[in-house]
A and B are shown apart, each in its own frame.
Chain A
Amino acid sequence: SQQGEEDPQALSIQEGENATMNCSYKTSINNLQWYRQNSGRGLVHLILIRSNEREKHSGRLRVTLDTSKKSSSLLITASRAADTASYFCATDAGQAGTALIFGKGTTLSVSS
């Protein structure tokens, strides 16, 4: 099963611009995580935000979480060509050790 939509499905920007991706989910969550996947490769964990947090930063990444709207956003600032990848949000609602439920993902293309 999947939690919901990611918006936009595809995003094309120029190097140096900021990229914002949104994720919505349906059920109550424990944590929300963002992952990156380069074409045909495995997942790279980017950042985790807990349900009692509203904003978190890690380098050029900024994640927000609005549990009242059941949504999260990922902002990548000063994007680089190397940021080109698919980005997925993933939630877990249960005890530690439960599976992650992934959103549909946003494909980001950064051109130089």
Chain B
Amino acid sequence: GAVVSQHPSRVICKSGTSVKIECRSLDFQATTMFWYRQFPKQSLMLMATSNEGSKATYEQGVEKDKFLINHASLTLSTLTVTSAHPEDSSFYICSVSFPSVSYNEQFFGPGTRLTVL
């Protein structure tokens, strides 16, 4: 399967700062990537769909001006949490869509744990 990396794996920042998280597809070109958020002891919630060369599509309730997504190349999507606050502390996971002939196969990155103090 495809290899997806995320960087950093863990970040601690002060309230009010911005944090950028990178998601890379290492071995194939991905036109579509997804960003999920997971709070402690909860499931993954889709935040946005990142499309190469176009604006991201955000889920209802996700502030696009706070969570900036850039998918400038076929192997890299970035999520920037702007003016982070403690309530943004979460586990952020990206996935890469690899539409095969018969089903929607996705590969997940290892996740980034964000802690905002």
| Chain A residues packing against B (C-beta within 8 Å) | 1-2, 30-31, 35, 40-43, 45, 48, 50, 88, 92, 95-105, 107
Contact = CB atoms under 8 A, between A and B. Distances in A.
B84 to A, nearest CB: 20
Given A2-B43, A104-B43, A31 B104 contact: yes
Q: Chain B's interface: helix, strand, loop or mixed, by majority?
A: strand
Contact of B104 (A1, A92, A102): A92
A32 to B, nearest CB: 10
Given A31-B103, A42-B109, A98-B104, A88 B43 contact: yes
A101 B113 CA distance: 21
Contact of B42 (A1, A95, A104): A104
A1 B46 CA distance: 7
Given A1-B59, A42-B108, 17 more contacts: A1-B45, A1-B46, A2-B45, A30-B103, A42-B93, A45-B107, A88-B43, A92-B104, A95-B99, A96-B103, A97-B104, A98-B97, A99-B34, A100-B46, A100-B104, A104-B43, A105-B43
- Tell me the dominant secondary structure on chain A's binding face: loop
B106 interface: yes
A43 B107 CA distance: 9
Given A96-B103, A97-B97, A100-B95, A42 B110 contact: yes
A98 B49 CA distance: 9
A13 B46 CA distance: 31
Residue of B32, B44, B102, B108 with highest tally of chain A CB at under 10 A: B44
B23 to A, nearest CB: 12
